[in-house]
Amino acid sequence: MEFSSEGKALEWMLKNQKGRRNLSDYAKTEAALLIKSVLEKEARERMIDAHTAKEILPELNGQTRDKIGELAGVSGKTVDKVEYIQKYAPEDIKRDLRIGIQGISINKAYELTKEEEKTVVEAESKAQFNQSNDNIEWAKWSWNPITGCKHGCAYCYAEDIANRFYKEGFEPTFRPERLSAPVNTPYPTDKVKDEIGWKNVFVCSMADLFGEWVPNEWIDAVLEKVEQNPQWNFLFLTKNPKKLLDFAFPKNAWVGTSVDTQARVKTAEEVFSQLEASVKFLSCEPLLEPITFDRMNVFDWLLIGSRSKNSRGAAFKP
């Protein structure tokens, strides 16, 4: 068969496949919404007039949700609920709906998602920075909109904490309800006058925001909040410095990399000679062996520290 466009071919495919018993209503509606987006994209690309648009994209003629429902074999109300689930539901709920797990209906998922969203909204209104350990002079606050890491460092203190307090453990997790913390946290004007650490926020102390496994969308969401809140300085630290070059940092971002052994030196020097940031710093914490640098002038600030005790090893002071 021949079709005038990819969208029309997909539309024909769904019409002839939706009778299959192993296709859930959610999967069919999800497919119909996808086909709608393809048809709309094709219509925009062709710069077509309104009359032609109605011929190519019947959904534009009349109630869109009812046309999509007709294509999927469900009601318009079901289309609305599926769109809502697509936008707000956790991935595990969407997966269960897609494969038709018994006991998980569109209505049930819709109600669960509404409850989840309500919880997130309430959490957003309360989210604030955590106050850091008194021993950390350079940043009195920490902020973890993302938690979890896959570097597997034997000296990691954060993994023990995550396994104790997070149901996901140390698996990388995006926590969007925490993005409102920079706005919600009262700015300590009086304390900042005496100690700049009260202005400094250590971002993702429980993660590596620039790990290879972290989606760019997560990073962009964090950097957007950084730019919107110039009253704070936000400190970023990574063991994957090459990824830093993929992003533009606001003026209130201090950007650093961890170098605990000589093997990390060359990459750190190469990246930070190219990186643009208001403050570029180096963290040799824990300093596990003697380290020699050729280009220390590409860094503005140096931290040196010891290894903390954790479940996998004893404390160590260089």
- Provide the whole-model pTM: 0.65
Q: Check residue 226 and give its pLDDT.
A: 97
Nearest alpha carbon to residue 155 among 268, 263, 315: 315
Query: Is it the case that residue 121 has pLDDT exceeding 80?
Result: no
Q: Check residue 59 and give its pLDDT.
A: 45
Indicate the average pLDDT of the chain. 87
* Contact (Cβ atoms closer than 8 angstroms) between residue 85 and residue 93: yes
Q: Tell me the C-alpha distance between 98 and 145, whole Å.
A: 29
Return the amino acid letter for 152.
G
Q: Please give the structure tokens belonging to residue 232.
A: 């704070």
Q: Check residue 123 and give its pLDDT.
A: 65
Query: Is it the case that residue 53 has pLDDT exceeding 50?
Result: no
Return the amino acid letter for 70.
E
* Contact (Cβ atoms closer than 8 angstroms) between residue 205 and residue 198: no
Q: Check residue 309 and give its pLDDT.
A: 83
Locus of tokens 């497919």 = 31
Query: Which of 68-72, 87-91, 94-98, 164-168 has the weakest average pLDDT?
Result: 87-91
> In 25-168, where do the E strands start and end?
130-131, 141-143, 146-147
Query: Is it the case that residue 275 has pLDDT exceeding 90?
Result: yes
Query: Is it the case that residue 76 has pLDDT exceeding 60?
Result: yes
> In 26-107, where do the E strands start and end?
none
Q: Tell me the C-alpha distance between 16 and 6, whole Å.
A: 16
**Strand, helix or coil for residue 234:** strand
Q: Check residue 274 and give its pLDDT.
A: 97
Kindly report, residue by residue over 135-180, the tens digit of the pLDDT.
Answer: 678 999 999 999 999 999 988 989 989 998 888 899 999 998 899 9
> In the chain, where do the E strands start and end?
130-131, 141-143, 146-147, 173-174, 200-203, 233-238, 253-258, 279-284, 301-304
pLDDT interval class at 23 (50, 70, 90): confident
Cis peptide before 176 (omega within 30 of 0): no
Q: Taking the CB of residue 171, how many other CB atoms lie within 10 A of it?
A: 13
Query: Is it the case that residue 52 has pLDDT exceeding 70?
Result: no
Q: Tell me the C-alpha distance between 11 and 5, whole Å.
A: 10
Kindly report, residue by residue over 202-258, the tens digit of the pLDDT.
Answer: 999 999 999 999 999 999 999 999 999 999 999 999 999 999 999 999 999 999 999
Classify strands 173-174 and 279-284 as parallel, antiparallel or unpaired.
Answer: unpaired
* Contact (Cβ atoms closer than 8 angstroms) between residue 233 and residue 252: yes
pLDDT interval class at 261 (50, 70, 90): very high
Q: Tell me the C-alpha distance between 227 and 160, whole Å.
A: 32
User: Packing angle between helix 6-17 and helix 25-45, nearest 10 degrees?
Assistant: 160
Angle CA(210)–CA(214)–CA(220) in degrees, nearest 5? 75
pLDDT interval class at 47 (50, 70, 90): low
Q: Check residue 120 and give its pLDDT.
A: 65
Q: Tell me the C-alpha distance between 273 and 286, whole Å.
A: 23
